[in-house]
Every structure is written in structure tokens, then in C-alpha cells.
A and B are shown apart, each in its own frame.
Chain A
Amino acid sequence: MVDGMKSEPKLNFGLTEEQFIELLNMLMSGNEQLFERIFVSQAADCIKNLQRRYGATYENAYDTTMDTLIGFRRGLIMGKFKYGNLRALFNLMAKHQLLKKRNQNKERSEGDMELFEIDFVEFKYESSILSKLKLVWSQLDQDEKKMLHLHYNLGAKLVDIAQNLGLKEEAVRKRKQRILTKIRSKLSN
């Protein structure tokens, strides 16, 4: 190494450690932009990889990649993944999802299996209930969706949401109650 030459910062999935922390902060505040810029743009490569290395059909590779993106995003939000070899983790997770789909017990994926498990809501309910849930969700407006996402998915407290939305805590509490009443009435219809 030549003296005086600055070493390049290590990149992981195109991210420095600072950017990774920024990505987590953005996700935790409901901002998906950076995640989409970094990970969704890699989806095409992931699909190709699954097709080439594991002989997946395009349909399977596409579904697996989508599931992996969802699972990886969830893992980031839950603090499962630390800054490290993100690309390898992402690819392992995709492989695990694909093999799980194929139900091939002979071929086991490496790494921590539990790390890659995704509890999809779809598996918990019958299709009729799922359709109803999707319908109710589609009838909510964007602000209502955002508030619910921050509170239920990201675990944000109402006081933080109030700060995020520039509202008083009491106003947020009332709004939450109104949304829940709306959901309850739509579900009971």
C-alpha cells in the first residue's frame, strides 16, 4: 500500500456503514426510498441468479425475489441484520425461500435458517378472510395507512407519530380510534 493513499470505504451492497444506518432510520420512519433504490434495483440480478444457479422458472424466481425483498425489509426493520455481507445474506435468503418453495429437503441452504424465516400473514388466514382484509385496506386513505404502518408495523408510539406528522398526541390518538372504528365496522359488514 502506498503511504498517504486513503483507503476506499468498504461498500456493502453499494452501501457504506453510515448509509446503512441511514437506510434503517429511513425505514423506521416509514420512508422506503433508499431501500427501494438499493434492493429493488437488485431484483433483476437476483431473478437471473435463481434461474441460472438453481434452474428456477422465471415465475418462481420472480415470486421468490419478491418474498425475499419483503422478508429482508422486515429483517432490517426488526434489527435482525447487522452491517456485513448484505449481498450474501440477501442471496442466501432468496435461495432458502426458493428451496422452501420446492420443498427439497435433500438440498439444504447454508447459514442460520431461522434468520431467513418469514411469517407471511397470508398463511395465517383462509382466502375469504384475506380477501376481506385486502378490501378493507384498499378502502383506507394514504394518511390512515401511513399512521397504521408506523404504529403497528414499526412500533412507533403515538407521541412519535404526532411529532412525525406535526400533530398533537391527542389528535393522533383520536384519529387512531376513528380508523379502528372504521375498520371494525367494515370487517363486520
Chain B
Amino acid sequence: MESEHKHAQSNQDFEDLVKDLVQLGNEEDLRKRWSEHIKPPKPKFNRFLYLLIIAMVLAIGFFALRGRFSPRLFEIGKKNLIAAEAGIMQDISFRNIEGENTKVHQARAAMENDQFREAIQLYNGFSGELAVPDRLLLALAYHYSGDTEASSFTFNDIINDKNIYYDEAQWLLINSYIASENYEISLEILSRFVSATNYKEDAANELLIKLKRRQ
């Protein structure tokens, strides 16, 4: 008797479940069909995801551009390339750096006479390793001759060269501007240089103070 009752109850439960299943399924089908006639709401806008994507795109873009055009040296160099060139030339002459070679001398002379294509040929024809100031001059020569890509590449090459120090290149550029009496630009680069690299060396700080006073 009890088992019969249980069986009947179980059957009733199943019938009820089927009833709900049919109602649910049927109304679900109707909703789907009706939604073809009624404009459904737009999917909810996920602001967080959107901002994340924008941030990622910006970050990727930033690093990609940073790698390509590189650092401040090129940016700063563009500001006053003529002054930089003059400074580098002076720097070369008073430091009497290495690279005392006919081709290198001829290239420097070509630079002084604004013969940039010739200078490029001479620098590229030199089989030895160019000193940093000459590499900077080569980058400038490319720039003046309109070969922006090669110019950018050469600047980056200097900055990214592990044997040369970014500091050294920066330092050289700063001195170049000072030598050409472009104190304002020198101060700008030096200030950025000191703050960006946490450069603690006394010489840099002293120079910074001197330049500020001069201003």
C-alpha cells in the first residue's frame, strides 16, 4: 500500500516536472520568436573591459614607438640639431677623441661644409669603429639628407648599444649644447637627465646648478 502510494507520488512529481518543462520550454521558444519582431536591448557595455583594451593598445603603442624612435636624444636632437652638431664638432676638437683617421677627418670636414651625403659615404666607408660623437654626426647627416629612417636607426643604435652608455650619449649631447652656448637646451636635457636617471654624480649636479645660475 505504502509502495503504491510512493509510486503514485513519484509519478505525480514527474508529471508536474514535465508540466513545468513544457511551460518553460514553450515560453522560451515564444520569447525567442518574439525577439525577432521586437528590437532587443543592446548587450551591456562593459566599461572595465573597454578601458582595459584601450590601456593595452596605448601601452603597446607606446612601447612600439619608444622602441622605434627611441628616446629623448632623438627628440631633443630634433629641437636644435644645428646647435647639437656645432657642439659635437667642438667637442670632438677639444677632446681629441679616438678615430683619428683620414676618412673620419674627411667626414667631419664634409659635415662642416654641409656635404651630408659625402659625409655618410665617408663614415660608412670607415672600417673601424666610430666613436660616439662621430656616430651622432652620422645620425645628423642622415637626418639632414632626408633619410629619417636611417637617422632614427643610428640614434637608436647609439642609445641601445650596450657598450656605450646611455648616460655617455646624453652627457655628450649636453656638453655639445653647452659648447655651442645653447644653455637653455642643455639645462632642459640635464634636468631631465638628472631626474629620470636619478643621476647622483656630483659633476651633473654641479653643472645643473651652474647652468641654472647662468640662466
How would residues 132 to 171 of chain A score, 1 for a CB under 8 Å from any chain B CB and 0 otherwise?
A: 0110111010000100110011000000000000000000
- Asked whether any CB of chain A lies closer than 8 Å to the CB of B164, the reply is no
B26 touches A133 (CB 8 A): no
How would residues 101 to 125 of chain A score, 1 for a CB under 8 Å from any chain B CB and 0 otherwise?
A: 0000000000000000000011011
Count class of interface residues, chain B: 20 to 34
Q: Which of A36, A124, A130, A149 contacts B26 (CB 8 A)?
A: A149
For the complex, what is the distance from the CA of A122 to the CA of B31, rounded to whole Å?
14
A183 touches B18 (CB 8 A): yes
Closest partner residue, chain A, to B43 (CB atom)? A59
Q: Which of B20, B31, B34 contacts A124 (CB 8 A)?
A: B20
B28 touches A137 (CB 8 A): yes
Q: A36-B34, A40-B37, A69-B34 are in contact. Are A134 and B24 (CB under 8 A)?
A: yes
Closest partner residue, chain A, to B44 (CB atom)? A59
Residues of the B chain whose Cβ atoms lie less than 8 Å from the Cβ of A36: 33-34, 37
CB A75 to nearest CB in B, in angstroms, measures 13
CB B29 to nearest CB in A, in angstroms, measures 7
Q: A32-B30, A40-B37, A70-B31 are in contact. Are A152 and B24 (CB under 8 A)?
A: no
Q: A32-B30, A184-B14 are in contact. Are A40 and B38 (CB under 8 A)?
A: yes
Chain A contacts with B in 161-189, Cβ cutoff 8 A: 180, 183-184, 187
- Asked whether any CB of chain B lies closer than 8 Å to the CB of A44, the reply is yes
Q: Which of B22, B28, B37 contacts A153 (CB 8 A)?
A: B22
Q: Which of B23, B30, B40 contacts A121 (CB 8 A)?
A: B23
- Asked whether any CB of chain B lies closer than 8 Å to the CB of A47, the reply is yes
CB B74 to nearest CB in A, in angstroms, measures 51
Residues of the B chain whose Cβ atoms lie less than 8 Å from the Cβ of A152: 18-19, 22-23
Task: Indicate the member of B27, B40, B41 with the most A CB atoms within 10 Å.
Answer: B27
B21 touches A136 (CB 8 A): yes
Q: A133-B20, A137-B21, A153-B26 are in contact. Are A66 and B31 (CB under 8 A)?
A: yes
B18 touches A70 (CB 8 A): no
A65 touches B30 (CB 8 A): no
- Asked whether any CB of chain A lies closer than 8 Å to the CB of B25, the reply is yes
Residues of the B chain whose Cβ atoms lie less than 8 Å from the Cβ of A69: 30, 34
CB B37 to nearest CB in A, in angstroms, measures 5
Closest partner residue, chain A, to B40 (CB atom)? A62
- Asked whether any CB of chain B lies closer than 8 Å to the CB of A76, the reply is no
User: Can you spell out 26 A-B residue pairs with CB atoms less than 8 angstroms apart?
Assistant: A36-B34, A40-B37, A41-B37, A43-B37, A44-B38, A62-B40, A65-B38, A121-B24, A122-B24, A125-B20, A133-B20, A133-B24, A133-B25, A136-B21, A136-B25, A137-B21, A137-B22, A137-B25, A137-B28, A138-B25, A145-B25, A148-B26, A153-B19, A153-B23, A153-B26, A183-B21
Given contacts A145-B25, A152-B18, 16 further A-B contacts (CB under 8 A): A36-B34, A36-B37, A40-B38, A58-B42, A62-B40, A66-B34, A66-B35, A121-B20, A134-B28, A136-B21, A137-B21, A145-B22, A145-B29, A148-B18, A148-B26, A187-B17
